[in-house]
Chain A
Amino acid sequence: MVKPLVKVHLWSGLRALAGGHAAVEVRAATVGQMLDALIEAHPALEEAIDAGVSVSIDGKIYGQGLTQAVAEGQEIYLLQRIKGG
């Protein structure tokens, strides 16, 4: 089964670690797969992703979950992991 092709926008500080790209397309069906695929495509992203990222999907912010489904055509942004006080 071919996983959906999703487009992930990176915050501008990450672009240098992703070959200068503002957005990266990977094949993934879940957030977890998407993060793994990003690291596979651009290994320099691993440190930032392991440090913690939250993901915004069509405006809904997912703090840390890996199981959320992702699909083609969604607006997906990586954000530094949201923590509070």
Chain B
Amino acid sequence: MAFDEKTGAFKVVGTRPDRPDGVDKVTGRARFGADASAPGMLHAVIIRSPHAHARIVKIDTSKAEAAKGVKAVVTRVDFAAGLKGEPWNILENVIAGDTALYDGHAVCALAATSLLAAKDAAKLVEVTYEVLPHVTDVDAAMQDGAPVIREGAADSSVPAGMHPNVVRYHESGHGDPDEGFAEADLVIEDHFVTEATHQGYIEPHACLATLGGDGRGELWCCTQGHWNVQKVCAALLGIETSKLRVAASEIGGGFGGKTAVFIEPVALALSRKANRPVKLVMPRADVFRATGPTASTSMDVRIGMKKDGTITAASGVFRCQGGAFPGAPMEFTAMCAFAPYNLKHVRQVGYDVMTNRPKQAAYRAPGSPMAAFAVESVIDELCNRLELDPIEVRLKNASREGTKASFGPKWDRIGLVETLEAAKAHPHYAAPLAPGAGRGVSCGFWFNHGGETAVQLALSEDGTVQLSVGTPDIGGSRASMCMMAAEELGIPYEDVRTTIADTATLGYNEISHGSRVTYASGLATIEAARDTIRKLCRRSADKWGIDPEAVEWRDGAAYPAGPNAGDHDPLPIREIARRMGRTGGPIVGHYEATPEGAGVSFATHIVDAEVDRETGATKVTRYTVVQDAGKAIHPTYVEGQYQGGAAQGIGWALNEEYIYGADGRLQNAGFLDYRIPVASDLPMIDTVIVEVPNPGHPYGVRGVGETSICPPLAAIANAVSNAAGVRMRQLPMRPSRILEALEGQGS
């Protein structure tokens, strides 16, 4: 779906109308996952392993089943047998088989007539465990003698002789790094560590499930992708996909963490057993222990640079653990690491390692932020030692259209240089630094995604429009969809209502992830609108008795076009809609495709930070995000994505981490000790939207939701390292870590 060169004259796109769901959300009317109820509803509680690794010897639910109000209990036997591959992995994570694989792994669940009754009954479930040795650290899990998570899970990519916990391997690159390092004036190699973090969405997973003995079910849940939920639940429950109807509630944050399925199959299984609707809301501690945090990493990066700033070679080894299942996004860590740089000699290697931790899930751009932390820190160190300007060096080595990417192909049209130039020109970059403060710069990169998309645009008889899309609104996309439909149809923004359809009323839609919604649902909306316009023009042609080719659509009305079209009054959309029932039937435009052509997105961030040398506390005093959006449909919501990603990056860089004890249990499963940024931690976050159009979208849209989290870890680490005068190599840079680093430096 190619870029439309006519894009000069947008009327709606690029403006900033109020979002359509705004009033619902400021009045408390909007309904999220936990806001639904049904007559006869039961409340469910999941019983979870308190051990990091244990054989489940016996589950005795007899006392719980006899408890007041309990109507159903399920264990693994209540789910489908014989699954293989990723469906098996998902089921094994949703509810344990014979082994509990991490602290918080679900073992059993029950439903009762009230939540308090369910919680009381849960205490009566007796599980006998045989505790096994555990491992939670990525490097430790690769060593000889480390406890084995699961035999035979490695695929054929893994080199011979590695521990069974190493399940996938990636290697890519080109040239001869050794030759390149030999040409460098300075080579720096360093080791970096990042801890696991959680997406931290404020809304816990929640659902309301109804499943009858006949296999027909209804599910309401907060999710980034309800067709995926439908597919996964059907497989795990052994029912036919189309028998299950899933509706997506408003979602209170996802960021990738709600692309995976955790509790819905359990709620459905309980409902089937009890023959009543079941509501399941995850307690916050369970969200931390048993949903999908990011991978944690151990990385070695080596970069060689000449005195003039030319990078001669780069190599990286990225070890990532993704919990007790394959899937740590190490290939993206590897492929994104050097993406901003045009390198003759580059090599990146990734390892996917299993540990006794929950199954990882994406957090915005999976794998990319960690890589940027390591690589951009080394580049910063090289710039400092060679006394070169960090932005000039990045410009000198920047990837551009036609240069070879670190992972192989030549780049298409990209906007990295534009973001660097804009950062360089921004007043932030020239602003004097406060005494004791440091400044950090980083680039970042993400691929972005297309994915299955189906959209329907139906005319109402008054000429207004109902647009049905299948991508849950995780960032304000309904406003953008309305805008694109209004733009194409030439009607007011207010005349379009966008609804997120359920799985029974629209074709398959891929999860809202990969920054794909404005790109893919947007492209589909544009196409569906054009389909509708063709139909409107045909009706007009029929009415005028002329050829449809002789009708053009402009400003919400059909006009005769061309010298032989005749002299007819324009037909506005409401006129055509009013009579559509009698002129051929309802008018509905639609579009289904898996669009290919999502454009990649680059960003450059600038951060100023102050470090208190006595307490080790860091204050971010100024933050500027510069990112390529291709085309900002609704600039305010693009700014929102930039600011949100930066804020999450600040938390990840400074405070957030999963802390496991020696017993392998998560120590900080709550917002008190898993400390995300609060309003008083942050400054205003300045944003610059660069627009280098994506050739693969009619308006040039590039996804923006993920790239914003790629630069902050490094930008902040560079600022803090420069402020403290010591290179920080481990995240988060909590006060104790900064003090240790300062002491180590003898300050």
Contacts and interface: CB of A to CB of B under 8 A. Distances in A.
A58 B405 CA distance: 12
A1 interface: no
Main secondary structure of the interface of B (DSSP, over half): loop
Contact of B155 (A47, A63, A85): A47
B171 A84 contact: no
Contacts of A75: 409-410
B172 A84 contact: no
B157 A13 contact: yes
Contact of B598 (A12, A14, A63, A68): A63
Interface string B710-731: 0000000000000000000000
Contacts of B594: 63-65
B172 A13 contact: yes
B447 A61 contact: yes
Instruction: Give the most central of A56, A59, A80, A84: most B CB within 10 Å.
Output: A84
Given A11-B171, A13-B172, A68-B596, A83 B335 contact: no
Interface in B391-418: 401-402, 407-412
Instruction: Give the most central of A44, A68, A75, A83: most B CB within 10 Å.
Output: A83
Interface in A45-85: 47-48, 51, 56, 58-65, 68, 75, 77, 79-80, 82-85
B103 to A, nearest CB: 23
Interface in B44-58: none
A83 B449 contact: yes
A59 B409 contact: yes
Given A12-B171, A85-B365, A77 B409 contact: yes
Interface stretch (B32-40, B75-83, B508-516): B508-516
B364 to A, nearest CB: 5
B450 A84 contact: no
A12 B450 contact: no
Interface residues of A, number: 28
Main secondary structure of the interface of A (DSSP, over half): mixed
Nearest to B159: A16
A37 interface: no
B596 A85 contact: no
A82 B596 contact: no
A13 B329 CA distance: 15
A77 B402 CA distance: 14
B514 A85 contact: yes
A44 B157 CA distance: 10
A84 B256 contact: yes
Contacts of A7: none
Interface in B311-353: 329, 331-332, 335, 347
B231 interface: no
Nearest to A66: B594
Contact of B172 (A12, A58, A85): A12
Which 4 pairs show the lowest CB-CB distances between chains A and B? A85-B362, A85-B256, A84-B514, A13-B171
Given A47-B157, A82-B447, 8 more contacts: A12-B171, A60-B695, A61-B598, A64-B594, A75-B410, A79-B408, A84-B365, A84-B447
29 contacts: A9-B409, A11-B170, A13-B169, A13-B172, A14-B157, A17-B157, A47-B155, A47-B157, A48-B156, A48-B157, A58-B410, A59-B402, A60-B596, A63-B598, A65-B594, A68-B596, A79-B408, A80-B331, A80-B332, A82-B449, A83-B362, A83-B514, A84-B365, A84-B366, A84-B446, A84-B703, A85-B362, A85-B365, A85-B366
